[in-house]
Structure 1
Amino acid sequence: MAQPLVKKDDDRDDEAEYSPFMGIEKGAVLQEARVFNDPQLDPRRCSQVITKLLYLLNQGETFTKVEATEVFFAVTKLFQSKDVGLRRMLYLMIKELSPSADEVIIVTSSLMKDMNSKTDMYRANAIRVLCRITDGVLLTQIERYLKQAIVDKNPVVASAALVSGIHLLQTNPEVVKRWSNEVQEAVQSRAALVQFHALALLHQIRQNDRLAVSKLVTSLTRGTVRSPLAQCLLIRYTSQVIRESASNSQGGDRPFYDFLEGCLRHKAEMVIFEAARAITELSGVTSRELTPAITVLQLFLSSSKPVLRFAAVRTLNKVAMTHPMAVTNCNIDMESLISDQNRSIATLAITTLLKTGNESSVDRLMKQITNFMSDIADEFKIVVVEAIRSLCLKFPLKYRSLMNFLSNILREEGGFEYKKAIVDSIVILIRDIPDAKENGLLHLCEFIEDCEFTYLSTQILHFLGIEGPKTSDPSKYIRYIYNRVHLENATVRAAAVSTLAKFGAMVDALKLCQCLVVYLCNVCLLLQVRDRATLYLNTLGGDGEVVETDKGVKEFLFGALDIPLVNLETSLRNYVSYPCLGHIYKSSMVHHVILALLVFVTGGFRRCF
């Protein structure tokens, strides 16, 4: 299996090495653009130069005003060529250059001529270019041609005019709104793409009039839409009307639901899925309304097309969040998707099963997931971990198997976000499931024995200092904490010392055996945490005497700051940067203390206390 992967990487390297765009420089391409001025134009060479110019523009390369003007005037000379391919490249180049108002006049006559050409390709592209570079004054002059193009018999020309209208609606809405009659006629076109673009433009023209949109949907849901693309668009507009009517009405039957349910029997798969998705997203949808949509999505789960399987399992995954019982009937089909070659489909199938499964199926799912986890990326693993956490909170009696699974994957390879998701999940389970506390704390202790992330080590140590003293045998965690004092960096050592102090403050039995005091005395030999250890020794009675930990000590160790850290950080920054005081305290001890406190606050080490 390793050889094909290496071969694939080699192929990618070869592709990158022999890319026709490698090493392209703007200056060299501008020099090549002189080919546009040749008396005998070479269409192939001109097309190659335009391709390079388009590549530079799309890579973010900027042309100066002089460079753009020179290229534009040189490109306009290509209108004399009769080559169809070069003419298409010419249209693209003019659109990307976005000429100024003075320069637009130069190409207007040529584009107007192409709009009335007998070649449909010229007409469609000329419409697109003119509408892209034109202003309001020129638009009124060509408005008559655009209206005619909307109802043109050629679908390419009609679609070009409609798409241009969609773009122009953002800049010249008053002009485009006058095309409503032509657009309404185009909605009845037999061409699928024309009907799709016409419906999109007509809806945008009426989108601010709720009654007009409702009338549009009412008229079109009677069966006049033939294009599958337009039908999908109509389903979305229908869902919008349903949502708006639901917010205004107090109850009763849901309008247009019969139309959505009827679309589930459409010939086109995209329409069926769009209708099913729309039904599942209805607010306050009932089980009776969900049933036909779930049935259709269940059929898609066994489709031979990966896109349909993915769409169906993703929709069911969303439904499982609000109606898990409605998705239960699909569990058998989703279990077969765990081994799907598409890892996205497999991940969604697993997370959906975890949301909809019952208590008896947990162990079986865990066995299937164990083999699956090693084959997916960290981003998918995080999704699975979050689903397992939700499942454990749903079935607390299964915490042992689920906690063991989380601890096993915690010891495997993975990035910071993945490990953090596992640690957060274990922490939440410990807090919400009392029986899982001691088992979960031991798993966290074993993890910090070989943890490469300082943030996670300090987080676990802080949490251990809060929950560890409350367990039946707190002394068994001391070894793990004390190891961190000797084997980790300064940040983790500081957190470990604070955690030891919390154990000493909360568990008198540990102080009676004098073990904690000895530990802290040894810690004092370490320079980085010497001051912190000395503070805690004096607080807890480091002279060897057994003192009763009073309320003030516990408040010092466990209490929260009276002010937000954000406010403290702002005040410290203002103090350090204050112009009158900055030069006075620049070399003083006060200044160093302020800087140290600022680093402490911004570093987020407050949780270590």
Structure 2
Amino acid sequence: MSSFRRDKKEEEDGGANMFQNLDKTTLLQEARYFNSTPVNPKKCIHILTKIIYLLNQGEKLTTQEATDIFFATTKLFQSKDVMLRRLVYLSIKELSSLAQDVIIVTSSLTKDMTGKEDLYRAAAIRALCSITDSTMLQAIERYMKQAIVDKNPAVSSAALVSALHLSATVPDLVRRWVNEAQEAIMSDNMMVSYHALAVVAGARRNDRLSTVKLVTKLSRAPIRSPHALCLLVRHAAKLAEEDNSEASEPYLEFIESCLRHKSEIVVYEAAHAVVNLRKSARDLAQAVSVLQIFCGSSKATLRLAGARTLAKLTTKHPNAVSACTVDLENLISDPNRSVATLAVTTLLATGAESSIDRLMKQISGFMSEISDEFKIVVVSAIRRLCAKYPRKHQSLAAFLAGMLRDEGGVQYKTAIADAIISLVEENPEAKETGLAHLCEFIEDCEHTSLAVRILHVLGREGPKARQPSRYIRYIYNRVILESGPVRAAAVSAVARFGAARPELLPNMRVLLSRCQLDDDNEVRDRAIYYSAILDSDDQELINDYIINVPIPNMVLLEKSLQNHINTNPEDVFNIDSVPTAEETKETEEASVQIEPRKQSVASLEEQYFDQLKIIPGIEKFGPTFKTCQAVDLTESETEYRVRCVKHIFARHLVLQFECLNTLSDQLLEKVHIRLDTVPGYIFLGEVACEQLPYDKQGSVFCILEFPENPLDTLGSFGAVLEFVVRDCDPTTGLPDPGEGYADTYPLEEIEIGCADQFRTRAVGDDWEASWERAASAHESCDTFGLSQNSVGEAAIAVCEHLNLPKSAISGDAVKEIRGCGLWREGAPVLIRARLLAAQGAVTMQLTARSPREDIATLLLAAVG
């Protein structure tokens, strides 16, 4: 027992990391000890542990250093110490990607793999498969098949996991092991069965019919492994999701039968699958009752699983979760804060309007006990509640304001401010209350970015309030007390008050004149700039440069300016040709998450900008006006998958065909597209894809010039994929000798519509003034009969056709769509549509105004 005794000093130092001061140079010297004869196993174990630790900490070894350590480590194969040998295998795996000539240990690993010592065999298999290249794998194929069906579960599982890793590089070789893997599925060992099913399903992932047969067969078989059953449930759910016919019924029945399984893992997986199916599940009550039981479990993991899945269900079927209200309320005081947070957010999403005040009281004590990350999740739930119950804005805004006064980081405060801002923008009755809370907050706001954001909102929403002058004091205080960026934002807000409210203009001029004496250049420049515009009394100038200022996409603006300077710096740069910053997309409400996820804000134009550089002379086309969403030109199960991305420029059209070869025994060369062009288009050239290997995406670009007449731009292109096929070795990807043979593959037509050539958006509050100012422009008007029976559905369909957001729709009995847009060559357009339902039919009157008559006519022709 003396070896387990620790004195007081050791206990005090127990938290220290014994490897924290490792030095790579010293370790390289220590590794030379492996060449000694004989070696001390304990000392070797200690050195190998330090090597592995150093590699996992991100330490970089040169190729020579890794090679030296690797070959020194191989000398330890002569040792009989079990722990040392297992560390040797682990070290070989770690060093194999860094060292040279690692293939030399193949014979030693093969010997251990086929030996009688089970403790070595599993580790040897994993190490061997990690270092053996595709050309050498066939030599050990026979041993791998034997290992998959080995009686020792560790050996069998190691072989199956290695096969899973190899399926990414040599899928055809692994497919030849499927028979052995299918036999292993029925193993008594749960991990062997699970890994075997993963290998078999992975080998059939591109063959839907084989997957269907596998799932159908195994759903009737007595699989003992809960892990394998969970995987089978996932595959059954995927098949049910993809098949909308009655053929999916057996999958749903199998999933529902798993709700009664004795294993909690399987029960949860089945409940999770039922909840996540997009189609309406036949028996949600069964899954909800299972999750309700989980919420009352003594195990924290089950409580978390139940609460998380119920939270996800609230986005689609909130009524189904209402039966669990009592169980969720009991979880608010759960010691696990993740569980408590999920319970709170789910209750906020499903609670009735009458229960909101009671919930707020329960949450108030809870908020002080959780971290900022969890608080942000709760704030997001309250934000959704504000939109759901607008009449409760007083209590919800007061609760958010109280949270705003508490301590917290910038992300937490930003989430609260965003919630109050959305309340101000979406609920007219809450505008005064929300703006008052924001004004109070910026008096003590420590975060510059947040203060600037709130000042921007005050400048936009304050002039629309009943008493706009009450907010000016708060804004001007920032000019006196804050830093340069905040003062500059305050000047812009003051200018907007003067532009939007003529009765306040004299006072705003005085404030702006004082700001012209500021120490900061940006503040002075803004004050002089806005004063000059306001003094001009030109309403159109004031509207374009103060009230409704378009904000370009900054990334694309920078790149477009660089291209402009490099190609034609003498010409005038047209900023209207640069896409504006992306507005918030209307997406399906996201499920409740434990941690907030940052959404990618890169636009399509940004994502494809670098890919278009492959086209010679692309800089001369100017900035990308618009990049459209990709459209599939083939079915998803076909051997060649192609989709088209349309890149719109002012005078040019680039069609990018993204191609994927799903056949591992073929290499495609000289891949190009044969287009049947629409009359009027000029085909300028093509950038072909020289090679298209298996499972690697390549692109073909077709460059065209638009017709002069906008009406001639509408039409459909026929397309055929043409290429040269060369048979290749599926395991290596190397083509067979020979030139191959030419082949073609027909594609769906590519349609060029009106919406592709416009950037459209919903209009702002100055719609009537903009419409009146455009009275002298060319106007086109026509009346259409629509196929929809509901005026609401018809309005949504028209918005989708014109690429307008749903926020452009207003009205109840008579729907009105108000939008504006920009033609690819820079001409603006205003759109107004009125829809009325009468005698079971929907009639629409569509009016378009634009400086160019042909553009206004084009919009009507596209709808007609």
TM-score > 0.5, shorter chain as reference: yes
Q: CA deviation at 1:364?
A: 0.8
Question: What is the match of residue 269 of structure 1?
Answer: 264
Cα distance in 1 for residues equivalent to 2:19 and 2:90: 18
TM-score when normalising by structure 1: 0.86
Check the 8 A contact 2:89/2:123 in 1, yes or no: yes
2:311 maps to a residue whose letter is N
**Structure 2 CA distance for aligned equivalents of residues 571 and 100 of structure 1:** 42
Distance verdict in 2 for CA 1:57–1:414, change over 3 Å:
same
Shift of 1:224: 2.2
1:448 CA drift (Å): 0.9
Distance 1:42-1:180 versus aligned 2 partners, 3 A rule: same
Hey, what does 2:168 align to over in structure 1?
170
- Tell me by how many angstroms 1:138 deviates: 3.2
Structure 2 CA distance for partners of 1:567 and 1:126, relative to 1, 3 Å: closer
Determine the C-alpha separation between the residues in 2 that align with 1:289 and 1:201. 32
Change (3 A) 1:162 1:552: closer
Indicate conservation of the 8 Å contact 1:260/1:279, yes or no: yes
Q: Bigger shift: 157-166 or 398-407?
A: 157-166
Change (3 A) 1:163 1:521: closer
Residue 540 of structure 1 and its aligned partner are, at CA, apart by 4.6
Q: What's the CA shift for 1:310?
A: 0.7
Cα offset for 1:521?
Answer: 4.0
Decide whether the 8 Å contact of 2:35 with 2:72 is kept in 1: yes
Shift of 1:555: 4.6
Give the direction of change, closer, same or farther, for the CA distance of 1:110–1:441 in structure 2 (3 Å limit). Answer: same
Aligned amino acid, residue 154 of structure 2: V
Deviations 1:225-248 (A, max 9, x none): 1111111111111112212222xx
Counterpart residue identity of residue 119, structure 1: E
Aligned residue for 1:39, secondary structure, equals coil
Structure with more of its chain in helix, by fraction: 1
Indicate conservation of the 8 Å contact 1:485/1:493, yes or no.
yes
Asked if 2 retains the 8 angstrom alpha-carbon contact of 1:508 and 1:548, the reply is: no
Moved more, 318-327 or 191-200: 191-200
**8 Å contact from structure 2 (residues 241, 279) kept in 1:** no
2:235 maps to 237
Contact 1:111 1:130 in 2 (8 A): yes
Q: What is the aligned length?
A: 559
CA gap 1:172/1:517 in 2 versus in 1, 3 angstroms: closer
- Secondary structure of 1:450's counterpart equals coil
Mean Cα displacement is larger for which, 226-235 or 556-565?
556-565
Deviations 1:535-589 (A, max 9, x none): 5445555xxxxx98855445542132497665654465568889999xxxxxxxx
**Which protein, 1 or 2, shows the higher relative CO under an 8 Å CA cutoff with sep ≥ 6?**
2
Choose from 90, 93, 97 the match for 1:92.
90
How has the CA–CA distance of structure 1 residues 495 and 142 changed in structure 2, closer, same or farther, with 3 Å as cutoff? Answer: closer
Partner of 1:494: 488
AA at the equivalent of 2:498:
G
Contact 2:67 2:98 in 1 (8 A): no
Output the amino acid matched with 1:382. Answer: I
Shift of 1:368: 1.3
TM normalised by structure 2 equals: 0.61
Matched, 1:559 2:551: no
Query: Given that residues 389 and 425 in structure 1 are in contact (C-alpha distance below 8 angstroms), is that contact kept between their aligned partners in structure 2?
Result: yes
Distance 1:324 1:397 in 2: 20
Q: 1:473-530, CA deviations, whole angstroms, 9 ceiling, x for partnerless residues?
A: 222112111211110112222222232233233334435xx54444344434323334
Which of residues 339, 343, 358 is equivalent to 2:337?
A: 343
Aligned to 1:470: 464
How big is the shift at 1:431? 1.6
Worse overlay, 132-141 or 142-151: 132-141
Aligned to 1:409: 403
- In the alignment, structure 1 segments of 5+ residues that lack a partner are 1-10, 542-546, 582-609
Which residue of the partner structure matches residue 505 of structure 1? 499
Query: Are positions 1:258 and 2:253 aligned together?
Result: yes
Residues in 2 aligned to 1:397 and 1:357: alpha-carbon distance in whole angstroms: 14
Q: Deviations over 1:366-396 (max 9, x none)?
A: 1111112222222221111111111111111
Contact 2:134-2:170 at 8 Å conserved across structures: yes
Contact 1:485 1:496 in 2 (8 A): yes
Which of residues 370, 382, 390 in structure 2 aligns to 1:388? 382
Separation in 1 of the partners of 2:269 and 2:11?
37
The 1:82–1:535 alpha-carbon spacing in structure 2 relative to 1, beyond 3 Å, is closer
Q: Which amino acid aligns with 1:525?
A: L
CA gap of 1:426–1:136, structure 2 versus 1, over 3 A, is closer
Specify the SS of the correspondent of 1:264.
helix
1:444 is matched with: 438
CA RMSD of aligned residues (A): 2.7
Secondary structure of 2:249 counterpart: coil
Report the equivalent of 1:66.
Answer: 64
Partner of 1:41: 39
- Contact 2:63 2:99 (8 Å CA) reproduced: no
Deviates more, 1:486-495 or 1:103-112: 103-112
Q: What secondary structure sits across from 1:321 in the alignment?
A: coil
**Which of 311, 323, 326 matches 2:317?**
323
Q: Conserved in 2, the CA contact under 8 Å of 1:279 and 1:285?
A: no
Matched, 1:519 2:508: no
Cα distance, 1:190–1:252 mapped onto 2, change above 3 Å: closer
Q: Is the contact between residue 193 and residue 229 of structure 1 (CA under 8 Å) also seen in structure 2?
A: yes
**Paired position in structure 1 for 2:123:** 125
Alignment of 1:543-554 (within 5 A): 550=539, 552-554=541-543
Query: Could you tell me how far apart the structure 1 residues matched to 2:529 and 2:68 are?
Result: 75
Q: 1:222 aligns with which of 198, 220, 230?
A: 220
Distance 1:152 1:380, change over 3 A: same
Give, in whole Å, the separation in 1 of the partners of 2:561 and 2:169: 49
Q: 1:274 to 1:566 in 2, by over 3 A?
A: closer
| Pair 570,186 (structure 1): closer, same or farther in 2 beyond 3 Å | closer
With over 3 angstroms needed to count, the CA separation of the structure-2 counterparts of 1:167 and 1:359, relative to structure 1, is: same
Q: Provide the residue aligned with 1:279 in structure 2.
A: 274
Listed one character per residue, the Cα deviations across residues 158-180 of structure 1 (whole Å, up to 9, x for unaligned) are 11221222222222323222222
% of aligned pairs identical? Answer: 54
Once structures 1 and 2 are overlaid, which stretch shifts more, 460-469 or 297-306?
A: 460-469
Answer whether contact 1:351 1:383 (CA < 8 A) is retained. yes
Greater strand share, 1 or 2? 2
